[in-house]
Structure 1
Amino acid sequence: MNVILSATLAANEDIVRRRRAGLRVLNLAFGEAGLPVHPALRNRLSEASGNNGYGEVAGSAALRESAAGYWGRRGLPTDPDLVVSGPGSKPLLFGLLLALGGDVVLPMPSWVSYAAQAEIVGVRAILLPPPPGEGGVPDPDLLAPAVSEARSRGRDVRSVLVTLPDNPTGRLARPETVRRLAVLARELDLIIISDEIYRDLVHDPSAVFASPAEFAPERTVITTGLSKSLALGGWRTGSARLPGAALRDRLLALASEIWSTPPAPVQHAAAYAFAEPAELVRRVADSRRLHGIMARAVAERFIRAGACVEPPQGGFYLYPEISSFSSSTELATELIEKHGVAVLPGTAFGDRPRVSRIRVATSLLYGESAEQRLAALHADDPVRLPWIDASLRHLDEALEGLGRCGGGRSGGGMPSEKPAATRR
C-alpha cells in the first residue's frame, strides 16, 4: 500500500510554508469554502459546549431527524433510523467502502480521496471517464462492459461512486445520465454511493438536480455535510442516508471502532443547520451566488488564455486544460514555481499522466480576513473588490503566454474523447 498525504492537504501545507518564507502565492489549490461561520451556528456550538459525554454511534436523535427532514424537503422521504452521522462525510465514505467491500467504480477524474481510500481498504478502483461535457458520473455506456470484464477476471465489483455536482470538474451530470446509471446499477447489482456534499451549491437555482436515490432508492447511499454549503470544514460533521438496515448496521459497527460518536457540540449545531432556518437558507443562497460568480470569472480568464474548460455549474471548481504542456504535473509546477499560482495536477484526481488538465479551486479568492470575505459575500459585483481584483490580475499575469488549447479547439470546451477504463 502506497498511501501518501492527501494532495489537497499537502498543497495547502506547501502554500503555508511558501508564504511563511515571504513568497507571494495565489491559492487555487485548496477546496475550502472560504467564508466565515454564520453567527447563529457559532451560538449553537457555544450553547452546547458543555456536552462532553459520549452519545449514540449514529448521532443524536435530533440530528438524525433534522437530516431526514433535509432530504425529505428534496423529494427523498427518509427514515431517521436510516441516517448515520459522523465526523465529516470523508470518514463516512471510508466506512462505507469498508462496509461494502469489493471493488468500486469511480469517475475519472474524481476527488483525490476516493481511490486513496479504496487502496487503504484493500479494494481496487475501476476508473471510467464521464460522458462528454459532464462530470462526476462514470459514462453509463462504459459501465456494464467494464464491470463484466472485471468480473470475468475474478474481481468482486460491488459499488459505483458518483459526485453531484462534481469535484474536480465543477460539472453536474444530466438527470438522464444519472437515471441510466441507476438502472444499470440495479442490473449489475451495484450499490451506488452518491456524494452530494455540493448539492446546495449548484449555481443555477433552477437547474434540474437528479439523485440516483430517485431512480434506485433500494441501492443508493447519499452522503452530505456542512463543510461546503455552510463553510464548516473544520467542524467535521457529515451524514449518510442508508437504503436499508443491514448496511446501516455494518457501518455502525465499523464507526463504533473508528470514531465512536460524532462530537456532541457540533451535532447540536448541525441539527440546527439541517433544519434550514431562514437565516441559514439565505446564507447558503448568498454563498451559492458568490461561488458561481467567482468560478465563472476565473473560467473566463483561462478561456482568454486559450485553455479548454467547461463552464462550471456547481461548487467552486473548474478543470481547465492547456495542452501546450506535456502533462498536468508540468503545468502545475510551472504555475507555482514561476508565477506563484497554486493548483492541483489532474493526476491527483486519477487523470491520465499525459493530459495537461488541472483542478482550480476559486473559493479562497474572497479575502484574507472575515471582514473581506463577508464583503465579498454581500457585494453586488465581488469581482470589483480591490483584493479580489488584485488576485485576478495575478492570475491573468500567470496565464499570459502559457499556451493555447490543443487539437484545433478554441477555448471553452474540454476534449470529447472517451479513453479506455483505467484500473488501479
Structure 2
Amino acid sequence: MKATSKSYVSKTVRELKPSGIRRFFDLAAGMEGVISLGVGEPDFVTPWPVREAAIRSIEEGYTSYTPNAGLPELREEITKYVKNRYHVEYSPSEVIVTVGASSAIDTAMRTILDPGDEVIVVEPCFVSYGPMVTLAGGVPVPVQALKENDFKILPSQIEAAITDKTKALMICFPNNPTGTLLNKQELEALAEVIKKHDLLVISDEIYAELTYDEEFTSMASLPGMRERTILVNGFSKAFAMTGWRLGFVCAPKEILKEMLKVHQYALMCASTTSQYAGLEALRNGREDVDKMVKSYRLRRNFIVNSFNEMGLTCHMPGGAFYAFPSIESTGLSSQEFAERLLKEEGVAVVPGDVFGESGEGHIRCSYATSMEELREAMKRIKRFINSL
C-alpha cells in the first residue's frame, strides 16, 4: 500500500493548530491600506550603536561558532544586567544565550518534562506555550485568568489545578496578550503555592523592561524561588531586536547544565553577530530603552482611553505593548469581530480566543505602532462599532 505524506507526520504534530496570530497577519499582508495592530513587534528600528557593533564584529572576522552557552563576555554582562535590574544573582555558568526567548522556553520544556508530566499554563497567554509543552511530551493544563480580576491569576486557581502529575507552572508577566502585571505582593502569594507543592516555574519575563506604573518584580527574586525558577528573557521587545533572534535563560546550575545538552544538540549556539549586538545593547542601550518606554506609555494611555470612550471596556495594562479590550457589547465573537473589522475597515487585530478560553469576547491590539497610525485605527474601529 502506497504511503501518503500525511502518514509520515507524527500524530502530535498533525493535531497542533497553526498560530491564530499569524493567520490574521497573513490575511492583512495580502490587502492594501491595512493598519496592523496584530503582530507584537516594536515599530522602532534597532538602535544604531547596536547595529554598528554587529557590523563591526563581521568586519573584524568574528564569524565562527561561539561556545554553546554563548559568548563568555555576553553571559557575564547578562548576569550584571539581571542583578542590577531584577535583583537576582547568577554566575555566567547559570546562563545560556538562546535563539530568542521562544527557544529558551522550548529547551526548558524538553529538559524538565517526562511523558505525561503536567504543566499549568496561565491563560490568556502567548499561543506557543501549550504547543511547546505538548511537543516536549507533556500535558498543558490551562488555567484561565478572568477579566473581572483584570486578568490577574489567583493562587487559589493554581492550587485547584495541581495534581500528582504537575511538574511546573508557566507564567508571563507583563502578560501577552493582556498587558497584566502582577506586583510583588501578588507574586509572593503565588510563590507560596509553588513552594508548598514543590513545583518549578518557567517565568517568561521578555516584557520586564516595558512596565509603566509599578516596578517589575522577577519571580526568581522572591525568597525561596531562585532555586525553582527558570527565568527567560531576551532582547526582542525592550531593545527592538526581534529579527536578531536573541534571548537568554537563567537557572540554577544543576538545571542549566542539563538544558545545555538540549541546546547543544538542537541549536549549537545563537548567532555570533547577534551576540555581539546584544553585548552592545546591554552595555550602552539603557537610554534607548527609556525613550521607547516613554513612547509606549503615551500610546498605551491613548489607545486604552479611546477604547473606553467608544464603549469597548478596556483595563489599563501595567506593561508590554498590548491593549485587550472587551468587544462583548457588539454581540460578535472575537473571530467575527476581527474578520469583519479587517474586511470592512482595514484594521488587523488578533481575536482574543486564540490566547485561551478566557480571551473570548476580547481582541488584542498592539500599540507598538506610530501615534499617527493608532489615531487612524481608532477612527476606523469607532466607525465600525457605530455601523453595527
Q: Do the structures match in fold with TM over 0.5?
A: yes
1:225 aligns with 2:231: no
State the aligned residue count: 365
| 2:129 aligned partner, one-letter code | Y
Tell me if 1:214 matches 2:240.
no
Residues 347 and 377, structure 2, Cα contact 8 Å, conserved in 1:
no
Q: Which moved more, 1:334-343 or 1:125-134?
A: 125-134
Q: 2:384, 2:305 → 1: CA distance?
A: 14
User: Is structure 2 residue 20 aligned with structure 1 residue 14?
Assistant: no
* Matched letter for residue 274 of structure 2: V
- Once the 2 structures are TM-superposed, how far is the Cα of residue 300 of structure 1 from its aligned partner? 1.7
2:90 pairs, out of 78, 89, 92, with: 78
| 1:11 Cα deviation from its structure 2 partner | 2.6
Question: Superposed, which structure 2 residues align to 1:330-409 within 5 Å?
Answer: 330-352=336-358, 355-363=360-368, 365-366=369-370, 383=371, 389-402=375-388
Q: In the alignment, what sits opposite 2:9?
A: none
Q: After TM superposition, give the deviation of residue 31 of structure 1 in Å.
A: 0.4
CA contact (8 A) 1:335 1:398 kept: yes
Q: Is residue 292–residue 315 contact of structure 1 (8 Å, CA) maintained in 2?
A: no
Kindly state the Cα deviation for residue 199 of structure 1 after the two structures are TM-superposed.
0.7
Q: 1:27/1:172 Cα in 2 relative to 1: closer, same or farther (>3 Å)?
A: same
State which of 314, 317, 330 in structure 1 corresponds to 2:319. Answer: 314
Residue 144 of structure 2 contacts residue 356 of structure 2 at CA under 8 Å; is this kept in 1?
no
1:326 CA drift (Å): 4.4
- Separation in 2 of the partners of 1:327 and 1:6? 18
2:65 pairs with 1:58: no
Q: How does 1:32-71 map to 2 (within 5 A)?
A: 32-49=41-58, 50-71=61-82
The one-letter code sitting in structure 2 at the alignment partner of 1:104 is V
Query: Do the aligned partners of 1:292 and 1:313 also contact (CA within 8 Å) in 2?
Result: no
In structure 2, distance between residues paired with 1:388 and 1:298: 7
Q: Give me the identity figure in percent.
A: 24
Asked if 1 retains the 8 angstrom alpha-carbon contact of 2:324 and 2:364, the reply is yes
CA deviations over 1:2-43 (Å, ceiling 9, x no partner): 22432323332222122xxxx321101110011011110011
Q: Structure 1 residue aligned with 2:272, among 255, 264, 275?
A: 264
2:293 maps to 1:288: yes
- One-letter amino acid of the counterpart of residue 8, structure 1: I
Whether the 8 Å contact between 1:302 and 1:399 is mirrored in structure 2 is no
CA distance in 1, matches of 2:142, 2:77: 35
TM-score, normalised with respect to structure 1: 0.82
> SS of the residue aligned with 1:112?
coil
- Write out per-residue CA displacement over residues 69-96 of structure 1, whole angstroms, 9 at most, x where no aligned residue: 0011021122111011111011110110
**Shift of residue 341, structure 1, vs aligned partner:** 1.4
1:188 paired with 2:193, answer: no
1:127 is matched with 142
Cα deviations by residue, 1:115-169 (Å, 9 ceiling, x for unpaired): 121222222211113364344x642111112103xx3xxxx21110111211100
- 2:176 corresponds in structure 1 to 167
Pairing partner for 2:104 from 69, 92, 97? 92
Q: Provide the C-alpha distance between the structure 1 equivalents of 2:184 and 2:68, rounded to a whole number of angstroms.
A: 34
Q: Work out the CA distance in 2 between the residues paired with 1:162 and 1:192.
A: 7
- Compared with structure 1, are the counterparts of its residues 4 and 145 closer, same or farther at alpha carbon in structure 2 (3 Å cutoff)? closer
CA-to-aligned-CA distance 1:273-310 (integer Å, 9 cap, x gap): 123x2xx2111111111112112211222112211211
Question: Which 10-residue stretch deviates more, 323-332 or 334-343?
Answer: 323-332
Question: Aligned partners of 2:121, 2:150: CA distance in 1, in Å?
Answer: 14
* C-alpha distance in structure 2 between counterparts of 1:308 and 1:116, whole Å: 30
Residues 168-191 of structure 1 deviation map (CA, whole Å, 9 limit, x = unaligned): 001111222211111211111111
Q: Which moved more, 1:27-36 or 1:111-120?
A: 111-120
- Alpha-carbon separation, structure 2, partners of 1:5 and 1:235: 23
Aligned residues of 2:145 and 2:358 also touching (Cα < 8 A):
no
Structure 1 unaligned regions, length at least 5? 367-382, 403-424
Match of 1:251 in 2: 259
**Relative to structure 2, which stretch is displaced further, 191-200 or 114-123?**
114-123
1:115 aligns with 2:105: no
RMSD (CA atoms) = 1.8
Partner of 2:210: 201
Counterpart Cα distance in 2 of 1:257 and 1:134: 41
| TM-score, normalised by the number of residues in structure 2 | 0.89
Shift in Å, 1:325: 2.5
Three-state SS of the structure 2 residue aligned to 1:182 is helix
| Residues 210-260 of structure 1: per-residue CA shift (max 9 Å, x gap) | 221122111011111111011100000001111x22211221111111111
The farther-off stretch of 82-91 and 289-298 is 289-298
CA distance in 2 between counterparts of 1:289 and 1:167 reads 19
Asked if the contact 1:134–1:174 (Cα under 8 Å) also holds between the matched residues in 2, the reply is no
Q: Residue 401 of structure 1: CA displacement? A: 4.7
The separation in 2 between residues aligned to 1:120 and 1:80, in whole angstroms, is 29
Match of 1:372 in 2: none
Q: Which residue number in structure 2 is paired with residue 29 of structure 1?
A: 38
Inter-CA distance 114–41: structure 2 relative to 1 (3 Å threshold): same
Q: 2-side partners of 1:39 and 1:272: how far apart?
A: 10
SS at match of 2:301: helix
